[in-house]
Amino acid sequence: MASDTTVRTRPVPPLAPQGALSESELPLDNPRARAALSLIWHEAALLDGRRYEEWDALWAEGGEYVIPIDRTATDFAATLNLVYDDDRMRRMRIERLTGGFSISADAAARTVRTVSRFTLAAQEDNAIEICSAQVLVGYKRGETLVLGADLRHRIVDTADGPRIARKIVHLINSDDAVTASGFLL
């Protein structure tokens, strides 16, 4: 077991297969890890509350929001993704969800998500990467949808506090048919 001052990490593949992360530790005595967890939980609450402009403020300049189709992909710019948003595209997505001019904004879904199984993927001088699992239940137009995903957040230290530099959402059914959801993952 690692001492209080040592952080054990091991390489984490882009996809979290069963058991791959069981030896990693998330050191809660580490202020950066605690801040990252707090940010991830705050992000989940903002998304469930459809507070998208506040969610956008959690991002570092140049942050990437990625939902790949291929769960093993690592070069997202060179592969097809369900979502591959930079700052501009993320804000356009928020405008579509809140502006009332798209099918996804019509009767926006209500969501409740649970984020758990936090593990430390990497840590650098000014950044930390946390892997976790998310189960999201959405309700829209009389239909209930359940989505599971492995998440990977890269959180960087900025003058304004910790911010999301990259969020990768590996949906468990990413290669299946996807419909307009009316929410962000």
Three-state secondary-structure class, residue 155: strand
Three-state secondary-structure class, residue 10: coil
Average of per-residue pLDDT across 9-17: 43
DSSP string computed for 28-65:
TTSHHHHHHHHHHHHHHHHHHTT-HHHHHTTEEEEEEE
**16 or 69, which is more confident?**
69
Residue 103, pLDDT > 90, answer no
d(CA 37, CA 162) in angstroms, rounded, equals: 10
pLDDT band at 90 (very low <50, low <70, confident <90, very high): very high
Q: What's the pLDDT score for residue 49? A: 95
Average of per-residue pLDDT across 143-159: 95
Residue matched to tokens 């099918």: 103
Residue 157, pLDDT > 90, answer yes
Residue matched to tokens 């997505």: 93
Residue 55, pLDDT > 70, answer yes
d(CA 67, CA 64) in angstroms, rounded, equals: 10
Q: What's the pLDDT score for residue 24? A: 56
E strands along 91-142, which residues?
110-123, 127-140
8 A C-beta contact, residue 27 and residue 36: no
Q: What's the pLDDT score for residue 179? A: 67
Average of per-residue pLDDT across 9-22: 42
8 A C-beta contact, residue 167 and residue 68: no
Q: What's the pLDDT score for residue 19? A: 40
Three-state secondary-structure class, residue 96: helix
**184 or 27, which is more confident?**
184
d(CA 124, CA 177) in angstroms, rounded, equals: 37
Residue 126, pLDDT > 50, answer yes
